[in-house]
Structure 1
C-alpha cells in the first residue's frame, strides 16, 4: 500500500531512540523529510545523519522538552527549515512511574505540556498543510497504562489526560482536515529501554511480564511505529480522535 507520504514534512519529538526513533526512521523510509529533537546533542546529530542516508532532508536540535520557549522555538524552526509541517508526533516522555510531587511535575511538564506546546507551535504549519493538501496529522504517544491502575501513578494519569486532550483537538479541528490521534503501546522491548533494562537486571519479573501477554512477547519499536505512521498518513484521512491500543492484547478492557 502506498501511504502517500512521499514529500511530506514531519516533526518527531524524543526521536533518537526507541519508539520515537523507529517512527522517524519509518517516516523517512516512506519519503518524508523529518525534523527531530531529543536532549542529547550527539545522539541527535547521529540520528539526523542516519535519516539523511535514507535519501530525505533531515534536521534536528537538542531540546529540553520541559523548556517551553525552547520547545516552541524548535518546532517553529523545524517548520521553517523543512518548508512546512504535515505531520507532528509528540512522543517524548518523562517516563516516571511514581506519585511523588516531582513525578507529577515531570509528567505534566514533559508529557502533557510537551504535547500542548508542540501542537500550538506547529498549528499554523499544520493548518496550512491541511488547507493546501487536504490532510495534516497530529499524533500523540500515550500508553496502555492510561487505563490500567494498580496504585497512584503520575505516569498513567498523565497518559490518560493526553487521550482526553487529543479528542478535544480532533473535534475542534476536524472541519479543517487537521486530525489528531493517539497511539497507546503496551510493553515495548528494546535495548536500553524500560523493559530492556528489566530484562537485563530483573529477569524473573521480566519473565512474569512476558507470561501476562497472550502473544507471549513484547512489541518492537518498529511495530508501534508502523501503527503511528499509518495513522499519520492520508490513508487514514477519516480517522481522527482515536486512541489506538497496540498492546498484543495484554489489556482485557474493551476499547471503543
Structure 2
C-alpha cells in the first residue's frame, strides 16, 4: 500500500533507539524527510548514516528534552531545516522504574511535559501543513494496569487523555491526533531483553499473558505509527490504537 508519505516532513523527538528508531527507518523508507534528536552523539551519527541510505533529507541533533528552552528551540530549528512539518511524534520516556519521588518526577517531565512541549512547539508549523498529523506514544498498561502501580503507566494515561481532547480541538484545523499503545515489545538490548536475561520467570509469565503467544516487535509498532501519520488515514483522529497481541482484555468501545 502506498501511504502517500513521500515528501512529507517529520520531526521525531527521541528517535535514535527502540520504537523511535524503527519508526524513523519506516518513515525514511516511505520517502519522508526527517529531523530527529537524541542525547548520545554516537547513536545520532549512526542513525543519520542509516537513514540517509534511503536518499531523503535527514537532520539529527543532540538535545536534552528535559530542558524546555532547548527542546522548543530544536523543534523550530528542525522545522526550518526541513522546510516545514507535517508529522510530529515524541518518543521520549522515563521508562518504568520502581515508584519513587524521583521516578514520578522524571516520568512527569519526560512523558507528560515532553509530549506536551513538543506538540506545543510544533503546532505553528503543523498548522501550515495540508496533511498534519500528531502521534502520541502511550502503552497498553495505561488503559488496563498489568504490572502494579507505577508512574510510567499513570503518565501515559495522562497523555492518552490529552491526545483525545487535542484531537477534538485541532480537527477543525485539519490536524489529526492519534495515540498508539504498545504492549510489551521485544527490542534487542531493550527493557524486555534485559528482563529476559535477568528475570526469566517474570518474562515467561508476561509472554503467557499474551494470547498471541509472543511479545511484539518494534517494526509492528512503527508500521502502525506510519499508517496513522499518513494521508491514507486522513479520517482517523482521536483514536487509541492498542498493539499488544490481544493482551488487553477489555472491549475497547
The residue number in structure 2 matching 1:218 is 215
State how 1:3-22 maps to structure 2 within 5 Å: 3-22=3-22
In structure 1, the gaps of 5 or more residues are: none
Q: 1:152 offset after TM fit, Å?
A: 2.5
The residue number in structure 2 matching 1:232 is 229
In structure 2, the gaps of 5 or more residues are: none
**Which of 133, 140, 147 is equivalent to 2:136?**
140
The residue number in structure 1 matching 2:116 is 116
TM-score (norm 1): 0.96
The residue number in structure 2 matching 1:60 is 60
Q: What SS does the aligned partner of 1:59 have?
A: strand
**Which of 171, 179, 182 is equivalent to 2:179?**
182
CA distance in 2, matches of 1:182, 1:108: 18
The answer to whether the Cα contact below 8 Å between 1:148 and 1:156 also exists between their aligned partners in 2 is no
CA distance in 2, matches of 1:5, 1:151: 39
The residue number in structure 2 matching 1:247 is 244
The residue number in structure 2 matching 1:46 is 46
The answer to whether the Cα contact below 8 Å between 1:72 and 1:121 also exists between their aligned partners in 2 is yes
Structure 1 range deviating more: 115-124 or 150-159 = 150-159
CA distance in 1, matches of 2:134, 2:91: 11
Q: What SS does the aligned partner of 1:128 have?
A: coil
TM-score (norm 2): 0.97
Q: 1:103 offset after TM fit, Å?
A: 1.1
The answer to whether the Cα contact below 8 Å between 1:98 and 1:152 also exists between their aligned partners in 2 is no
The Cα RMSD (Å) is: 1.0
Matched positions, count: 252
Q: What SS does the aligned partner of 2:127 have?
A: helix
Q: 1:148 offset after TM fit, Å?
A: 2.7
Superimposed CA distance per residue, residues 179-218 of structure 1 (whole angstroms, 9 cap, x where no aligned partner): 1100000010011111011112222221111111111111
Q: What SS does the aligned partner of 1:42 have?
A: helix
Structure 1 range deviating more: 202-211 or 26-35 = 202-211
> Structure 1 stretches (4+) deviating beyond 6 angstroms?
none
